[in-house]
Amino acid sequence: MAEGTRGRTSSRARTRDASPKNQTAPAPILPREAGRQIPYRLILAVIWLSIGSGLVLLILYFVRTLLFHLLIAAFLALVITRPVTSLERRIGRGKAIALVLSATFVAAVGIGTLIAAPLTNEAVKFAGHAPTVIQDAAQGKGGIGRLARRFHLEEQLKKAGPGLSNTLTRLSGQVLTLGRRIASAAFTAAIVVILAIFMLVEGPRTVDWTLRTIPERHRPAARRVGHAVLKVVSGYTIGVLLLAFLNGAVAGVAMTVTHTQFVLPLAVWAAVVDILPIVGGLLSMIPTGLFAFVHSVPAGITVLVAILVYQQIKNHFLYPVIVGRAVQMNSLLILVAVLAGAELAHVAGAVLAIPVAGAIQVVATEVVAWRRETRDLAADARPA
């Protein structure tokens, strides 16, 4: 009896020890290390993409001058497109391009002749007579001498006389150096004009080919962008040229009234340099004011006041109406664009900065509108 009880007790103990609660859980089976594959293809793709991007950036750096010339040529082609299109209906596209470019070339050469020829001749003559002029000025003779005597600058002029004489004597050599630079700039301008001619001739075919590569549903938007960019560039150019002409006219009238010398070249200079945004008005006042002050103090004050008053009227009234409507950019963006353009390409970059920024703004506005429209269509097509 007792043995049977002990047997049953030991059998229960064995059963309790073998129950799942008292058994140790088996160790989890870890995935095999061989299953963790390294993405070699992704790594190689990233490496080759980095190398290719670096090569593209390096090529763009080496051809940056050519790209800038292409940008100037495209700008010139866009500016000339409107008159060419107007004349094309009457005399054909080839003759219209030749006529417009010939008129532009004659105007550019005429402006350069009006500015450079008189001022260069007078600068060479003045350099030859520099020692005598400075000696007379130190003694209170001549226009410069009268100014020095009026502002009590005789002693300073006597001390600076030898250095100024040597500097002005070397002016003729500097004029020759400047002439070589102008010749180099003229050669570059000729290349840009040739590029612009090819762009004008091949423009319609290029536009048609570009539109054919764009999907059918995006072609109206592409046409809108093209027309808007053309409107921005042509409107800006026409407005700036009109305001520059008015600045030259104001300077010419003021110098004529005050009997200042070199009225025509200085007026043309005031018109040409006023094309530069922000600083053009200031640069137009410097030579005109100097020549007017050499004539007489009242003449200098009159010329400077006339140009300054016109600049204020232009900046606050004329520029927002004529140019602002074409570009549709606020003053902060215009300032940033001009500073960036001047940093990248100096004077030419500052001139092209505003129309380029306006064109970028047009493209960005169209892209944002297209994305908003696509998102709205996707939301409408989504089932409720």
Nearest to 303 by CA among 248, 265, 241: 248
Position 2 scores a pLDDT of 46
Angle subtended by helix axes 64-91 and 40-62, to nearest 10? 70
Q: In Å, what is the CA distance from 353 to each residue of 55, 139, 218, 235?
A: 27, 49, 28, 14
Per the document, the length of the chain is 384
Whether residue 268 contacts residue 248, with contact meaning beta carbons closer than 8 Å, is answered with: yes
Task: Please give, one letter per residue, the 3-state secondary structure of the chain.
Answer: CHHHHHHHHHHHHHHHHCCHHHCCCCCCCCCCHHHCCCCHHHHHHHHHHHHHHHHHHHHHHHCHHHHHHHHHHHHHHHHHHHHHHHHHHHHCHHHHHHHHHHHHHHHHHHHHHHHHHHHHHHHHHHHHCHHHHHHHHHCCCHHHHHHHHHCCCHHHHHHHHHHHHHHHHCHHHHHHHHHHHHHHHHHHHHHHHHHHHHHHHHHHHHHHHHHHHCCHHHHHHHHHHHHHHHHHHHHHHHHHHHHHHHHHHHHHHHHHHCCCCCHHHHHHHHHHHCCCCCCHHHHHHHHHHHHHHHHCHHHHHHHHHHHHHHHHHHHHHHHHHHHHHHHCCCHHHHHHHHHHHHHHHHHHHHHHHHHHHHHHHHHHHHHHHHHHHHHHHHHHHCCC
Position 33 scores a pLDDT of 47
Task: Say how far apart CA 182 and CA 193 lie, in whole Å.
Answer: 16
Q: Domains of the chain: which residue ranges? A: 62-209, 214-377
Position 341 scores a pLDDT of 82
Q: How many CB atoms lie within 10 A of CB 45?
A: 11
Task: Say how far apart CA 226 and CA 91 lie, in whole Å.
Answer: 25
Residue 341 CB-density burial (10 A; 0-12 exposed, 13-18 middle, 19+ buried)? buried
Task: Say how far apart CA 131 and CA 161 lie, in whole Å.
Answer: 8
Position 273 scores a pLDDT of 87
Nearest to 335 by CA among 354, 356, 313: 354
Q: In Å, what is the CA distance from 114 to each residue of 74, 119, 230, 276?
A: 28, 9, 31, 19
The pTM is what? 0.65
* CA atoms 293, 299, 301, 302: torsion sign: negative
Tokens 């003694």 correspond to 139
* Radius of gyration from C-alpha coordinates of the chain: 38
Nearest to 73 by CA among 242, 188, 186: 188
Position 149 scores a pLDDT of 65
**pLDDT per residue of the chain (384 residues) written in tens, 0 to 9:** 444 545 555 555 454 554 444 455 555 544 544 456 767 788 888 889 899 888 998 998 888 888 888 888 888 888 888 888 888 888 888 888 888 888 888 887 777 777 666 666 666 666 566 566 666 666 666 666 666 666 666 666 566 655 555 665 565 556 566 666 767 777 777 788 888 888 888 878 888 888 888 888 878 888 888 888 888 888 888 888 888 899 999 999 999 999 888 888 888 888 888 888 878 888 888 888 888 887 888 888 999 999 999 988 888 888 877 777 777 777 778 788 888 887 887 777 877 888 888 888 888 888 888 788 777 777 766 665
Q: In Å, what is the CA distance from 344 to each residue of 77, 278, 353?
A: 22, 17, 10
Task: Say how far apart CA 218 and CA 133 lie, in whole Å.
Answer: 70
